Amino acid sequence: MITDVKRLSGLQKVAILFTILGEGLSITLLKELSKTDIRKVRSVARDMDSVSFGLKSKL
């Protein structure tokens, strides 16, 4: 389980926010990203281990 926010890459942080907010809201907020970048975020979100509630709240 990921617990340290300092060890996360920017892409991982975005992926966590993506999962917290849900796909619909995330895509609206991230509309400046290219389709390729959104695919990368989705891929990282799928591949990440479980994320602690404490870490989510720090983001």
Residue from 5, 10, 30, 7 nearest 18 by CA:
30
CA distances from 53 to 4, 13, 15, 56, 59 (A): 11, 14, 15, 5, 10
3-state secondary structure of 43: helix
Q: Per residue of the chain (59 residues), give pLDDT as tens.
A: 677 788 889 999 988 888 888 878 887 887 888 889 989 988 998 888 778 788 888 87
Domain count, the chain: 1
What residue numbers bound the domain in which 25 lies? 5-58
